[in-house]
Copies of this chain bind each other. A is one copy, B any other.
């Protein structure tokens, strides 16, 4: 414990200061409150999963971004020098565990592992950090929280509508105006069939997914690079570029895909979800958007994405229906649907649009002076009285000059400073200074609670 180190934290990770924590807690509590209103139940899974649970679930790129945890004990005792040549194989051998990459795969693992204890339909929420060895950059971290809510074991489209209601309510409570974009993977599959490349669904959707980021021209280049010919791309053109409201879009795509069974099913689903969501009172804007694809290839039905209207930051929430996620763990044909809220981006939106309200998030703080030994018992009695009535407060721990205690109060944004000296102790009263205005109040001991309950 001798050598002095200049402390830092790993790149891409963050410390959260008190004010940041209070704001983050406000976001998590708001989201949790809405999840609970819809009777979703919390679960948590371990931070470390067996690497075999995670590998191969997020594509080749995802595998590279998994953080691997070195086996404990002597991890290298049975390693031959020749194994150093195959870094990938060696890393899997010396690391049996990895850090959670998202909440979806661990949830699928949970459902299969606990299937005998779970009653389906199973509605769960999960708020936990995930880790990705992404290159750190502004707004992208190696540790960040996801807030996921899913129903599994029910094919009813009512679940999709309920999730849209949850999205609507969360962003209403947070005061963030949003556009909820919806689409259906079946329609995308039908489009792939329609242009003559049914087996290129993934390439086409990944390319389409990028239309907002890289533009139409570049998407066409990507499609070409994936072996899709010009004629097919031309067929795609009207589907990507038409304007009009959501119902006009539905009509157009129904015309184009009228002979395609899977396409018609997708259009029916999308139309039902869109119209019922409106009927059941979703207040935020909902928009059908056929260019919405989301990269994740386990989606099979509805797909959602939410964007803030007043602040450009990419999607702040997204999700969709998956018909076979648990299949990878040996439990096929369990359909589920879920969405995930991006707490970090929501934080950025709220901060940038000045939506963190001091009174509701930071609260009002009370500091009690600590003048001398003779007043201490009385100060403690005042503190206990406040706390017994659920009012937070602190006593300045050191007996120092009042000036220094005032400084501390000022710098800590203390709202009320209670000054207790000989006079107050003998008079069985307290002296309260409201620091933001300089107002001063003399309040008898037995009126303290009434005073503050009125203020807060």
Interface residues of A (CB under 8 A from B): 1, 4-10, 13-18, 21-22, 25, 36-39, 41-50, 52-53, 56-57, 64-65, 67-70, 72-77, 79, 81, 84, 87, 90-91, 94-97, 99, 109-110, 112-114, 117, 119, 121, 123-124, 129, 131, 133, 142-143, 151, 154-156, 158-159, 162, 169, 279-281, 328-330, 365-366, 370, 376-377, 380, 384, 387, 390-395, 397-399, 408, 411-412
Are A15 and B143 in contact, CB atoms less than 8 angstroms apart?
A: no
**Contacting residues, chain B, for A64 (C-beta < 8 A):** 72
Are B9 and A158 in contact, CB atoms less than 8 angstroms apart?
A: no
* A35 to B: closest C-beta gap in Å: 9
Instruction: Pull 13 A–B residue pairs with CB atoms less than 8 Å apart, ordered by A.
Output: A4-B328, A5-B328, A5-B330, A9-B49, A15-B44, A21-B44, A47-B47, A47-B131, A64-B72, A72-B133, A119-B412, A154-B397, A279-B377
Are A394 and B38 in contact, CB atoms less than 8 angstroms apart?
A: yes
* A255 to B: closest C-beta gap in Å: 27
Please report the C-alpha to C-alpha distance between residue A387 and residue B35 in the assembled complex, in whole angstroms: 11
Are A393 and B39 in contact, CB atoms less than 8 angstroms apart?
A: yes
Are A16 and B1 in contact, CB atoms less than 8 angstroms apart?
A: no
A50-B10, A70-B95 as given contacts; A17 in contact with B43, CB under 8 Å: yes
Are A110 and B45 in contact, CB atoms less than 8 angstroms apart?
A: no
Please report the C-alpha to C-alpha distance between residue A21 and residue B32 in the assembled complex, in whole angstroms: 13
Are A91 and B75 in contact, CB atoms less than 8 angstroms apart?
A: yes
**Contacting residues, chain B, for A411 (C-beta < 8 A):** 119
Residue of chain B at shortest CB distance from A85: B76
Q: For the complex formed by this chain, how many copies does it contain in all?
A: 2
Please report the C-alpha to C-alpha distance between residue A68 and residue B97 in the assembled complex, in whole angstroms: 11
Please report the C-alpha to C-alpha distance between residue A365 and residue B119 in the assembled complex, in whole angstroms: 15
Are A330 and B6 in contact, CB atoms less than 8 angstroms apart?
A: yes
Apart from A4-B329, A39-B366, A67-B69, what 11 extra A-B contacts exist at CB < 8 Å? A9-B49, A13-B48, A16-B44, A22-B41, A22-B42, A38-B387, A38-B394, A69-B99, A70-B70, A75-B87, A119-B412
* A359 to B: closest C-beta gap in Å: 16
Are B17 and A114 in contact, CB atoms less than 8 angstroms apart?
A: yes
Are A394 and B123 in contact, CB atoms less than 8 angstroms apart?
A: yes
Please pick, from B57, B68, B76, the residue contacting A1 in the complex, using a CB distance under 8 A. B57
* A74 to B: closest C-beta gap in Å: 5
* A101 to B: closest C-beta gap in Å: 12
Please pick, from B69, B376, B391, the residue contacting A69 in the complex, using a CB distance under 8 A. B69
Please report the C-alpha to C-alpha distance between residue A97 and residue B12 in the assembled complex, in whole angstroms: 12
Please pick, from B280, B391, B393, the residue contacting A384 in the complex, using a CB distance under 8 A. B280
Are A1 and B56 in contact, CB atoms less than 8 angstroms apart?
A: yes
* A48 to B: closest C-beta gap in Å: 5
Please report the C-alpha to C-alpha distance between residue A346 and residue B392 in the assembled complex, in whole angstroms: 24
